[in-house]
Amino acid sequence: MSTINISTIGTRQSKWGEGPIWWENHLLYVDIEGHQIVRLNPETGNEQTWDVGERVGTIVPKISGGLLYAGDSGIVKFNPLNGAKHTFADPEREKRATNRFNDGKCDPAGRFWAGTISLVKNTGDAALYMLDNDNQLQIKLPKVTNSNGICWSPDATMMYYIDTPLKKIQSFKYNIKTGAISQASVAVDTAALGYKDSPDGMTIDSTGMLWVAFCHGGCVVRFNPRTGAKLQHIDLPCVETTACAFGGAELDRLFVTTGMHKTLTEKDAGKVFVLDGIGVQGIPAFAYKG
């Protein structure tokens, strides 16, 4: 096995970095508690930021231009050139005091999937939504508590999903033509594998293996969703590892966002870490086609 090199990129330290996505040779991610969208050039370390005036859980590019994010005010179209915002949907407006949008991604057909979190930990009070290419919002999974990592198999026949308090990675049969999910099952039981901390953001490599960042766990772990086995565990020098995404010219670098612990003081907390030499490649990210 090759030696893995772990380093940080840039100087910015997010309060709570999340939602990394590789797009147009840059890493886009969000600082949820800092209310910012960040565009990082890994070659230079240059960081461009936009303050959106609210907590923002995840972000994706739009094929037609601009960005789409999910945050406190719902699902929002954002123009980084002039800062203009337009809300597509706000399905939990009446729960704004207790809920907000959290993690999400686009599926290979360009639909935007994003879920909410109950900040007061009301079990089953959040949901996973899908915004289709006609800008119509559907509830895909009700009775969620903390909607987190989501990704699709390289052949787009499976969807993987994390509702963090369950400490499991769920799998679903996926219909790429319609966005329908079926045959829910448990792909990986992280608690049964000895992980007491919280599975958070997730990505997938070109061989169909899952990579999960563990909040409060200071690590990224590779799992086989077909067998439920742990394949690889990588410790990072920061407790709050939140999400991960493949990037770089060959999609062979794993970028990991982090946050600041409430009581610990860590030199690199909130920075973006990059893992080189992991020996696998990711798959390209997808943009919203609506």
- Closest-CA residue to 138 (of 148, 130, 146): 130
Answer for the pair 196, 189: CB distance below 8 angstroms, yes or no. no
In this model, does residue 264 exceed pLDDT 90? no
DSSP three-state, residue 93: helix
Going by pLDDT thresholds of 50, 70 and 90, the confidence category of residue 22 is very high
pLDDT of residue 1: 52
Residue-wise pLDDT for 93-118, tens only, equals: 999 999 999 999 999 999 999 999 99
Domains of the chain: 5-276 (2.120.10.30)
Look over the chain and give the mean of its residue pLDDT values, rounded to a whole number. 97
* 262 band by pLDDT with thresholds 50, 70 and 90: confident
Please tell me the pTM assigned to this model: 0.97
Count how many Cα atoms sit within 13 Å of the Cα of residue 115 in the half-sphere of its side chain: 27
DSSP-assigned states of every residue in 95-149: GTTTEEEEEEEE-TTS-EEEEEEETT--TT-EEEEEE-TTS-EEEEEEEESBEEE
Burial of 250 (0-12, 13-18, 19+ CB in 10 A): exposed
Distance CA 67, CA 83 (A): 11
Whether the pLDDT of residue 249 is over 80: the answer is yes
Q: In what order do the strands lie in the sheet with 158-163?
A: 147-152, 158-163, 168-175, 180-189
Structure tokens at 146: 């903390």
Q: Which long-range contacts (CB under 8 A, 24 or more apart) does 170-175 make?
A: 171/225, 174/107
CA distance 95 to 152: 29
| Overall average pLDDT of the 240-253 stretch | 98
Is 103 a catalytic site residue?
no
**Is 234's pLDDT higher than 90?**
yes
pLDDT tens-digit readout, 152-188: 999 999 999 999 999 999 999 999 999 999 999 999 9
Q: What is the pLDDT confidence band of residue 288, given thresholds at 50, 70 and 90? A: very high
Report the percent of the chain where pLDDT is more than 90. Answer: 97
* pLDDT mean over 14-30: 98
- Residue-wise pLDDT for 213-232, tens only, equals 999 999 999 999 999 999 99
pLDDT of 2 higher than 80: no
What is the band of 263 on the pLDDT scale with cuts at 50, 70, 90?
confident
| Selected catalytic residue, list 31, 200, 205, 252 | 200
Parallel, antiparallel or unpaired: strands 47-51 and 36-40: antiparallel
pLDDT score for 104: 98
Average pLDDT over residues 23-52: 97
Give the pair of three-digit tokens for residue 48.
């461009």
Q: Express each pLDDT in 116-159 by its tens digit.
A: 999 999 999 999 999 999 999 999 999 999 999 999 999 999 99
Strand partners, 68: 60, 77
- Model confidence at 64: pLDDT above 80: yes
